[in-house]
């Protein structure tokens, strides 16, 4: 996961890392701990 800051406060563009092989692809759509480390925000989704 790569996080790109924008001009808007607390608004980020998130780029997932995609892993490809002959079976297809995989990506981790969200990781709360990594997101918090990169942005300083720790959201709780319901």
| Mean pLDDT along residues 17-38 | 92
pLDDT (mean) for 13-37:
92
Q: Domain limits of the chain?
A: 2-39
What average pLDDT does range 11-38 have in this prediction?
A: 92
**Average of per-residue pLDDT across 7-33:** 92
* Of 37, 31, 39, residue with least CA distance to 12: 39
pLDDT at 45: 83
CA dihedral angle for residue 3, residue 44, residue 30, residue 4, rounded to 10 degrees: -10
């Amino acid at each position: 996961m790569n996080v790109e800051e924008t001009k808007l406060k607390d608004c980020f563009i998130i780029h997932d890392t995609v892993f490809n092989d002959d079976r297809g692809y995989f990506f981790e759509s969200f990781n709360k701990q990594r997101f918090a480390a990169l942005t300083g925000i720790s959201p709780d989704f319901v």
